A and B are shown apart, each in its own frame.
Chain A
Amino acid sequence: MDIAPVKRWRGYGIIAIAAVLVFAVLLLLARSVESSAQYSKWQLLILGVNIAGVVVMAALLARKLRQLVRDYRLHVPGSRLTARTVAIFGALVVVPLLVIYLFSLEFLNRGIDSWFNVEIRQGLNDAVALSRSALDLRTREQGRRTEGLAAALSDRSSASLPALLDEERRASGARELIVFGSNGEVLAASIEAREALIDPQIPREVLMQVRSNRTYLSFEPLSNGGYLISTAAPIPDASADARRRFLVARHELPRELSELANAAQQAFNNYNNLAYARRPLKYQFRIALTLVLLLAMLSAVYLAIRSAQQLTQPVHDLILGTRAVGKGDFGTRLSLPSRDEMGFLVQSFNDMTKRLRRASEEANRGRQLIEHERERLAVILAGLSTGVLVVDTSLRLRIANDAADAILGLELGAMIGVELAQIAEAPPRFAEFASRLRARLQGPGSVREWQEEFELPPDRVLRVACAPLADAAGEAGYVVVFDDITSLLYAQRDAAWGEVARRLAHEIKNPLTPIQLAAERLRKRLAGKLPEEEADILDRATHTIVQQVESLKGMVNAFSEYARAPELKPSRVDLNELVAEVVELYRAQESSARLEVQIDSRLPALRADRGRLRQVLNNLIANGLEAVDGVADGHVMVATRFSSGPEGDSAVIMVTDNGHGFRQEMLARVFEPYVTSKPRGTGLGLAIVKKIAEEHGGSIEADNRPEGGAYVRVVLPLAAQEAQPSRGIA
């Protein structure tokens, strides 16, 4: 399950909840500012929650900003784009907010100030004054009535006062009419309701006022919101010694007038209280506005960062993905952020990586195929007995196989990239090869494809074929294929000589017997018929004829032997025993040379044609003895040896002598027929030995010894004979 969308939706949920909370808190703040009295208890809490919200938001924003700065410094992909986007978003959000804030502050100050202008205050003040004037007028009027009533009571006896007061109270609508004596004692009273008696005592200030013959006027508020008009006047008395009396009248102001007066007073008080609260009210509005601004601004910047990060997240992913692709990771897949243009871009990237991955896989497969083919080619080249060289147009070596190394006698694998002419310490064979090749490829009149035989010192012949290599840019070099055909040539030569020998044997051997018989018949018929001198001549002549015919027979037999078809009769042969047997025959002959034998007891029996091997030994020993003929302390060593090597086990016959050795010019052709340094030799001895060795799947080599003399070394494979008999072995 992909957790990225879950995290994203969880983030959206948190933001939505936070937004609702912020909105609710701001709403509460606004309501609490509007209705301070109603929210009085919660106002500080609301304020605190708002401040806490600002602090939390600031902390979140600081965290985001720190992360942004860190990413920016660390050059995290996409951080610069995010920073730029945040700066733009932030500017777009913060600047208008600040402008609105400043203007709102200004409007707030002006608005609140405009509530409390001088005209309103003065108007309210005037309303209160007007109420007071109206009520003063009413009070004075009531005072005059009280004075009138007091005058009317002047000639009345105390006994008649209650009835009169009752009558007057009802007529005037007063609550109380009380007549006090000079000491404040109640002389008579008329009260609307006894339980509603306001004050049965005459107040001291009233007493002081009326004692000085002045009318007392008083106007005071009541707990029930009404007003009480109290008036007092001295009752004039005709007799001078009569006791002073005072009339106190208390009237309640009509309800409608009281309410009007109270309304004016209340409006005045409220206005002044509000005016007094103007400054803290401004503070409150400013704080609320500032909190709203801070919350809005911090939230906006925070959301701007978050939005920018979300907006640039696909870019960030694309950068990382591009880097990964740059490093060769074509498996990069980006999650689709949305279905908009960015989503299209990411989808395109994913398609691109998909195609790149396919292409890469195909390229890898192709590379593997090429590598495989290269390995196969290397194996093939390594397995080829044909030498293969690839050189570029500058004749720098590019490819060389093992066969080329073997044929040219040089480890060419270490010379890759080296120009052929620059290869130092090359053997003469290679130097000649390179020289011929360069002349052929770069010389005048060079052709694109050619075949030629190169004769290389000392005795190698190579058949060389060359073809140009071409690539898309044109000619890229040459491939040179060559075979060492020395052996082939020798074989062809051997075959030619064999054919010659066979023809000679056939053509010469047939007349020899009649010649010999004819000569012997002549001698027999004429021996007794001719004079002695002529008979002697005849005898010598026929003898010479017979002798020469014998000699010719021997020669023809030798040729016949050389040309004979390989019909081997293999059997188990103990080579050591055979050597000892043959050597013993030669030891029996008189010879000045010493014949020595060295037997390797490890040598097992081998499967071979015993007679042919005997011939090999005969020829080699005979050659050796002839070679030391006339040499002081001449000796011939016949040795057998068991050899074990990477190509398998083999039996080695080694015949060495201390004679004159091979002449240098003959050395290369010593195994060819008719090549001999002996005046009477047929030149077929070593050729036959070579032929027999090859018939047994073996090889032969001959060379001069550094200490003098020569050696011939015949190698006969053991395993090959046991498991896979050679061509000549049935």
Chain B
Amino acid sequence: MKGRVLQLLWLLASLLLPPAALARDPIVVQSAFVNVRAGVFELNARTIFPLNEDVRAALTDGATISLELRATVEKKRRYWWDATLVDVTLQRELSWNGVSQRYILREPDRTEQQSFVALDQALSAAGQVEAWPVVVEPQLDPDATYAIRVRAGIRRGRLPGALRTLMFWSDDWNRSSDWYSWILPR
């Protein structure tokens, strides 16, 4: 009975207490800019993902850590909410290969992967985005103003949506950076 009460209290505490270690190291979009090349707006960004023992422990426990960079392009409107023109996410997965003792960085949509001996190298590579096409010129209204916003996020594992929803209150892995936004240069 006592054990059950304690279990219940722990459950409540886990639901109510703020996220633990990972919250100490914020995710930061350090820099982002867009290059227009042949009518394609290519995003370049550098994100600092937290590098700490939690991440390392999770990876060595076999977890796959999703590292995301979400970009939206919104058309500015004067008397109404801005219209979202583009909402794309670049997803990368970082995992630990215990057999080779290396960190594997890959994009789910691609077959290539990179391996790193050190975690900082892997995170640095994961935070580096170069020439990511987010929007093309024909999509844009020449007279309109567009804002581009970028946000990086980190999640642990490949939990199904429902489980992620259930973990919403207690999952300190499901975190994002602040929005990094600027006006899309024309």
- Chain B residues contacting A220 (CB-CB under 8 Å) are 100, 102, 115
- How distant is the Cα of A227 from the Cα of B167 in the complex, in angstroms? 36
Looking at B31-39, B67-75, B154-162, the stretch in contact with chain A turns out to be B154-162
Contact (Cβ within 8 A) B98 A273:
no
- Chain A residues contacting B159 (CB-CB under 8 Å) are 277, 280
Nearest-CB distance from B24 to chain A (Å)? 20
- Tell me the chain A residues, 31-64 only, with Cβ under 8 Å from chain B: 32, 36-37, 39-41, 43-44, 47
Partner of A227, one of B61, B64, B100, B111: B100
- How distant is the Cα of A32 from the Cα of B62 in the complex, in angstroms? 25
Nearest-CB distance from B182 to chain A (Å)? 33
**A131 in contact with B99 given A273-B62, A276-B61, A276-B63 (CB within 8 Å):** yes
- Chain B residues contacting A281 (CB-CB under 8 Å) are 163
- Chain A residues contacting B158 (CB-CB under 8 Å) are 273
- Chain B residues contacting A221 (CB-CB under 8 Å) are 97, 99-100, 102, 104, 113, 115
Closest A-chain residue to B173, C-beta based?
Answer: A276
Verify if B165 is at the interface (C-beta below 8 Å from A): yes
Contact string, B86-107, partner A, CB cutoff 8 A, digits 1/0?
Answer: 0000000001011111101010
- Chain B residues contacting A280 (CB-CB under 8 Å) are 159, 163-164, 166-167, 171
Closest B-chain residue to A264, C-beta based?
Answer: B99
Partner of B62, one of A39, A40, A135, A268: A268
Verify if A601 is at the interface (C-beta below 8 Å from B): no
- How distant is the Cα of A223 from the Cα of B112 in the complex, in angstroms? 6
**A272 in contact with B62 given A131-B99, A132-B98 (CB within 8 Å):** yes
Closest A-chain residue to B159, C-beta based?
Answer: A277
Verify if A265 is at the interface (C-beta below 8 Å from B): yes
Nearest-CB distance from A213 to chain B (Å)? 21
Verify if A283 is at the interface (C-beta below 8 Å from B): yes
Contact (Cβ within 8 A) A43 B162:
yes
Contact (Cβ within 8 A) B161 A265:
no
- Tell me the chain A residues, 1-50 only, with Cβ under 8 Å from chain B: 32, 36-37, 39-41, 43-44, 47
- How distant is the Cα of A635 from the Cα of B75 in the complex, in angstroms? 143
Nearest-CB distance from B99 to chain A (Å)? 5
- Chain A residues contacting B166 (CB-CB under 8 Å) are 280, 283-284, 287
- Chain A residues contacting B181 (CB-CB under 8 Å) are none
**Looking at chain B's contact residues, is the secondary structure mostly helix, strand, loop, or mixed?**
loop
- How distant is the Cα of A268 from the Cα of B117 in the complex, in angstroms? 20
Partner of A272, one of B61, B106, B170: B61
Contact (Cβ within 8 A) B157 A276:
yes
**A132 in contact with B156 given A43-B162, A44-B165 (CB within 8 Å):** no
**A273 in contact with B162 given A128-B98, A265-B99 (CB within 8 Å):** no
Nearest-CB distance from A28 to chain B (Å)? 12
Verify if A521 is at the interface (C-beta below 8 Å from B): no
- How distant is the Cα of A281 from the Cα of B156 in the complex, in angstroms? 15
Contact (Cβ within 8 A) B101 A40:
no
Verify if A693 is at the interface (C-beta below 8 Å from B): no
- Tell me the chain A residues, 239-289 only, with Cβ under 8 Å from chain B: 261-262, 264-265, 268-273, 276-277, 279-281, 283-284, 287
Closest B-chain residue to A269, C-beta based?
Answer: B62
**A269 in contact with B161 given A221-B104, A280-B166 (CB within 8 Å):** no
Contact (Cβ within 8 A) A43 B99:
no
Closest B-chain residue to A129, C-beta based?
Answer: B98
- Chain A residues contacting B157 (CB-CB under 8 Å) are 273, 276-277
Verify if A219 is at the interface (C-beta below 8 Å from B): yes
Nearest-CB distance from A309 to chain B (Å)? 38
Contact (Cβ within 8 A) A128 B99:
yes
Closest B-chain residue to A286, C-beta based?
Answer: B166
- Tell me the chain B residues, 53-91 only, with Cβ under 8 Å from chain A: 61-64
- How distant is the Cα of A128 from the Cα of B100 in the complex, in angstroms? 10
Nearest-CB distance from A125 to chain B (Å)? 8
**A276 in contact with B156 given A223-B113, A281-B163 (CB within 8 Å):** yes
Nearest-CB distance from A550 to chain B (Å)? 151
Nearest-CB distance from B21 to chain A (Å)? 15
**A268 in contact with B98 given A220-B115, A284-B166 (CB within 8 Å):** yes
- Chain A residues contacting B115 (CB-CB under 8 Å) are 220-221
Nearest-CB distance from A197 to chain B (Å)? 16
Closest B-chain residue to A268, C-beta based?
Answer: B62
Partner of A132, one of B61, B99, B160, B162: B99
- How distant is the Cα of A262 from the Cα of B95 in the complex, in angstroms? 13
- Chain B residues contacting A284 (CB-CB under 8 Å) are 162-163, 166
**A261 in contact with B63 given A43-B162, A280-B167 (CB within 8 Å):** no
- How distant is the Cα of A220 from the Cα of B159 in the complex, in angstroms? 27
- Chain B residues contacting A227 (CB-CB under 8 Å) are 99-100
Closest A-chain residue to B106, C-beta based?
Answer: A223
**A43 in contact with B102 given A221-B97, A223-B111, A272-B61 (CB within 8 Å):** no
- Tell me the chain B residues, 2-24 only, with Cβ under 8 Å from chain A: none
**A277 in contact with B99 given A271-B62, A272-B62 (CB within 8 Å):** no
**A132 in contact with B101 given A272-B61, A273-B63 (CB within 8 Å):** yes
- How distant is the Cα of A220 from the Cα of B102 in the complex, in angstroms? 7
Partner of B162, one of A47, A223, A261, A271: A47
Contact (Cβ within 8 A) A219 B100:
yes
Partner of A277, one of B64, B95, B100, B163: B163
Contact (Cβ within 8 A) B98 A40:
no
With most chain A CB atoms within 10 A of its CB, the pick from B99, B100, B171 is B99
Closest A-chain residue to B171, C-beta based?
Answer: A280
Contact (Cβ within 8 A) A36 B99:
no
Contact string, A499-521, partner B, CB cutoff 8 A, digits 1/0?
Answer: 00000000000000000000000
- Chain B residues contacting A41 (CB-CB under 8 Å) are 161
Nearest-CB distance from B140 to chain A (Å)? 31
Nearest-CB distance from A473 to chain B (Å)? 80
- How distant is the Cα of A279 from the Cα of B171 in the complex, in angstroms? 10
- How distant is the Cα of A265 from the Cα of B102 in the complex, in angstroms? 12
Nearest-CB distance from A4 to chain B (Å)? 46
- Chain B residues contacting A37 (CB-CB under 8 Å) are 160
Nearest-CB distance from B1 to chain A (Å)? 13
- Chain B residues contacting A132 (CB-CB under 8 Å) are 98-101
- Chain A residues contacting B165 (CB-CB under 8 Å) are 44
**A32 in contact with B162 given A220-B100, A261-B99, A265-B98 (CB within 8 Å):** yes
Nearest-CB distance from A81 to chain B (Å)? 40
- Chain B residues contacting A265 (CB-CB under 8 Å) are 62, 97-99
**A135 in contact with B99 given A269-B64, A271-B62, A276-B156 (CB within 8 Å):** yes
Closest A-chain residue to B164, C-beta based?
Answer: A280
Nearest-CB distance from A113 to chain B (Å)? 11
Nearest-CB distance from B61 to chain A (Å)? 5
- How distant is the Cα of A437 from the Cα of B71 in the complex, in angstroms? 126
- How distant is the Cα of A227 from the Cα of B98 in the complex, in angstroms? 12
- How distant is the Cα of A40 from the Cα of B165 in the complex, in angstroms? 11
- How distant is the Cα of A261 from the Cα of B159 in the complex, in angstroms? 24
Q: CB within 8 Å of A: which residues of B?
A: 61-64, 95, 97-102, 104, 106, 111-113, 115, 117, 156-167, 170-171
Closest CB pairs A-B (n = 6):
A272-B62, A43-B162, A36-B160, A269-B62, A280-B163, A40-B160
Extra contacts, 17 of them, besides A221-B100, A227-B99 (Cβ < 8 A), are: A128-B98, A135-B100, A205-B117, A220-B100, A220-B102, A223-B112, A265-B97, A268-B62, A269-B62, A269-B64, A272-B61, A276-B63, A277-B157, A279-B170, A280-B159, A280-B167, A284-B166
Pairs A–B under 8 Å by Cβ, sample size 9: A40-B161, A43-B161, A44-B162, A128-B98, A219-B101, A220-B102, A221-B104, A264-B99, A271-B62
